[in-house]
Chains A and B, each alone.
Chain A
Amino acid sequence: MDLDWLVEFLFTIIRLSTPLIFAALGAVISRKAGVLNLALEGMMLVAALTGVVFSAITQSWIVGLLTAVLGSMLMATIISYCFLVIKTDLYLTCIATNMASIGGTVFVMFLLTGSKATTAEALRSMSIPRIDLPLIKDIPYIGDVLSGHNLLTYVSFAMVFFAWFLIYKTRIGLRMRAVGEAPEAVESVGISVPKIKYISFLLSGVFAGFGGAFMSMSYVTWFSRDMVAGRGFIGMSIMNIANASPVGSLGASFIFGGADATAKYLQLQNLPTDLVFMVPYAVTIIALTVISIVRIRREDRIVHGKSLRRKKATEKAAE
């Protein structure tokens, strides 16, 4: 009985972590090229809407998924054009595109369905299928946790490996890391820095596109206003906490997925829902704070050779 509850909870964590993994990978790949993609939120929102619209029109989830990714890549292209060609401030560009995506998706949604809140009644997307893993699904408990997830959940795990491979084992990955660490050096050997940055942003858009598609084509099967609900920014924070490592991001995503799942669970209890809704965001701020303190301590230790507390202790002893 108790174990059933745990199985369900772990299953929910994996399910809720999926969009965060995609968002985090999107943040990682752009961070490696030295650009912070703060527009993940907007990209995911646009992807979610295009996914719903096109899968509803064509009645095919594959087309929906592809157009979602394309929509997100289009956003990436617009942002890249702004900050690489007409030289806007990157942060300001991302803030502006996020604003535009929130308003723009509502605008398009209203024109298509006449509702400003959700397309649930008028326009439903095709759902991306669930997959039962052969063999694993027969293992008691573990099978119930790991099997039966949405296709995109497994894709997100695969993408972690893909991102790792791309960043550390391919030529383009090497160039991205080089641009991130020493753009002048890259330029000096005749590689176009803006081009590499554009490619990394485009890849970031691909990941965000998958994340957005998960929100509207699997998590639920419709689009609603501001449905990404800060997951793009949580993805940014995950990247930050995992120090821009793809595999680390996977682990950190589960922590935030856990916070999300806890909130979902607390909602069922008799707690005020508004306070419960705060949990994922509060966890984000706390996690960012803790990790920064840990990093600063560690830096101190490296610089001073030993921890500050021990240093103070030895000073006292010397007196």
Chain B
Amino acid sequence: MIKKFLNNDKMSQARRVEIAFEVVRVIVAILLAYALALALLLIFSDDPAGTVRQFIIGPFTNLRRVGNIIEQAIPLMFTGLCMCFMYSVNEFNLAGEGAFIMGGCITSWIALSIPGGIIPSFLMIILLFLIAGMVGVAVASVPAVLKAKLNVNEIVSSLMMNKIMYYLSSFILFYYMRDTTIAMGGSWRLPNELKLPILIPRTNVHLGLILALIAVAVTVIVFYRTPFGGAIRIVGSNRFFAEYTGINVNKNLIAAQIVGGFLAGLGGCIEIFGMYTRYQWIIAAPTAGMDGILVAVLARRKPALIPVTALLLAYIRTGADVVNLSTEVPAEFIQVIQAIVILLVAAQMFLAKTRNKIIYKQAQDDLAKEEQPA
């Protein structure tokens, strides 16, 4: 298949080398960062060999941990898709984090306040998904509209939004749904009938996986097969061109970010009803929103690649968790590694010399070939 791809005459030789190179570059970046992670573990661990082994093969040692990888990948897919949308129009709207937390918080609150049995649980869960999505839309639209209409920096406003959402969710938890019988901060137990069904026995892999994959498929179709997807991709690659071709830039900018917010909010709800028995995102607030950036950057804004990159990040995170449980190295070092991967992948000049050399050589070979028969 690769050979066929490389011999495709419709594409110019240089373009082909560029695409192949892009893939190599991402892989090299991941490997470099991975090596760095191993180096960090070697330095800071009392039992380096054991720690490294835990980090690399730990996630595969039993079914529960393999399940962990998939479980962790589900929210990452949603927030990754969210960032894909934000990113596709070149906006760094980071409100996905706030949308994710709020999506989980509000739906837990609703599920706890409506007595069971009034609405059939199947209908109820779909209703909750929609509400979570709308909450996400509300959160993400603030920075989006402020940027489009008033040119307020979206990074600053979205991060402020996230802080506000974090405290708001904590307020809702402590004032409206706190279970006073338990010591830790958590809500009352969520209704059992609303819990998403488990797909693989003896793990926590839940229905969310299928929903996430559907979301990926829908996103791919929206991106490449609908006028809306075409419009946002044009707006993202060249705003001025989009304006001159008569695309309503502001409308598409906001629309793309709203869809992103919807996905993040939905992801938060699915995470809560798939993985938790109580709403308790206060002490260990999820970082899925921010991790979505890495997932989207690694996938190079291509939604079809999101499941792969989400699984990859989930694998590394599970490894870090295993290390965290069994040794004294805290899992936070993964955040540093993540940042390095983002920087290496985003670096235009990283390995650029090698790429140019290859393209140059290819061109010369082509010239030689053309001259020979004549």
User: Interface on A for B, CB 8 Å cutoff?
Assistant: 36, 38, 82, 85-89, 91-97, 99-100, 102-104, 106-107, 110-111, 116, 229-230, 233, 236-237, 240, 272, 274-275, 277-278, 281-282, 284-285, 288-289, 292-293, 296
User: Interface on B for A, CB 8 Å cutoff?
Assistant: 44, 92, 94, 142, 146, 150-153, 155-157, 159-161, 163-164, 167-168, 170-171, 174-175, 290, 293, 297, 330, 332-336, 338-340, 342-343, 346-350
Inter-chain contact B157/A236, CB cutoff 8 Å: no
Inter-chain contact A86/B333, CB cutoff 8 Å: no
Q: Could you list 19 A-B pairs, sorted by A, with CB under 8 Å?
A: A38-B155, A38-B156, A87-B347, A89-B346, A95-B94, A99-B338, A99-B342, A103-B338, A107-B330, A107-B335, A116-B330, A233-B155, A233-B156, A272-B171, A278-B164, A278-B167, A281-B161, A282-B160, A285-B146
Which of B94, B159, B290: most chain A CB closer than 10 A?
B159
Inter-chain contact A296/B153, CB cutoff 8 Å: no
Residues of B near A95 (CB, < 8 A) are 92, 94, 155, 293, 342
A237 to B159, CA, bound (A): 12
Inter-chain contact A87/B349, CB cutoff 8 Å: yes
Inter-chain contact A96/B167, CB cutoff 8 Å: no
Chain A interface secondary structure, helix, strand, loop or mixed?
Answer: helix
Q: Which residue from A110, A111, A116, A284 sits with its C-beta under 8 Å from B160?
A: A284
Inter-chain contact B347/A88, CB cutoff 8 Å: yes
Residues of B near A88 (CB, < 8 A) are 343, 346-348
Given contacts A104-B336, A237-B153, 15 further A-B contacts (CB under 8 A): A36-B153, A38-B156, A87-B347, A95-B92, A99-B342, A100-B336, A107-B336, A110-B330, A236-B156, A272-B175, A274-B167, A275-B171, A278-B168, A282-B164, A292-B152
Q: Which residue from A106, A240, A285 sits with its C-beta under 8 Å from B330?
A: A106
A288 to B335, CA, bound (A): 30
Residues of B near A289 (CB, < 8 A) are 146, 150, 152
- Supposing A97-B339, A100-B339, A107-B336 touch, asked if A92 and B297 sit within 8 A by C-beta, the answer is yes
Inter-chain contact A285/B174, CB cutoff 8 Å: no
Residues of A near B340 (CB, < 8 A) are 96, 100
Residues of B near A275 (CB, < 8 A) are 167-168, 171
